[in-house]
Amino acid sequence: MKLLFSLLLVMVLSTSAFAQTQSKKMKFLIHITCGPDDPTRAALGFLVAKSALDEGHTVSLFLAGDAVPLLRDSVMNSVTGLGTGKLREHYEAIVKGGGRFYLSGMSSKARGVTDADITGKPAQFAPPTTLVQLAADSDRVVTY
């Protein structure tokens, strides 16, 4: 009987702790390095960011390498992942949910991404130290 009671108590406490963890609002950093040449992974990164925002979490996205052109309007309008949706729709949901974009300044310069590409968007160019700081300040980091 004592064993049964102990097991029930552990189950109740575990369930309670799990529920508290599930309701805790967290800070996510989504680090994306794949670009339009890998539309499924690129769109998946945006979809995960959108999903975290839908759950009430805070989300920042850091785009580096081949991912920096993803914020160009022409690219957003043309990228659709296989089973991961349209990049433009995910972007709009991320913006509406308060997500913020950081683009590697060095990657952007090397790929011709300029201020004109991010004007009017919740985005800014950032050095590697910003990526390090965002990762240090986040509860979870997800990379695509």
pLDDT by 10s per residue, the chain, length 144 = 443 333 333 444 444 444 444 579 999 999 999 999 999 999 999 999 999 999 999 999 999 999 999 999 999 999 999 999 999 999 999 999 999 999 999 999 999 999 999 999 999 999 999 999 999 999 999 999
CB 72 within 8 A of CB 113: yes
Name 120's Cβ contacts closer than 8 Å, sequence gap at least 6: none
Residues pairing with 125 in the sheet: 103
**pLDDT value of position 119:** 97
User: What does pTM read for this prediction?
Assistant: 0.84
| 134 contacts 94 by C-beta, under 8 angstroms | no
Q: Name the architecture of domain 24-143.
A: 3-Layer(aba) Sandwich (3.40)
pLDDT of residue 39: 98
Distance from C-alpha of 123 to C-alpha of 76, rounded to nearest angstrom: 14
Q: Residue 22: its pLDDT value, please? A: 57
Look at residue 14 in the predicted model and tell me its pLDDT: 45
Distance, CA of 113 to CA of 115 (rounded, Å):
7
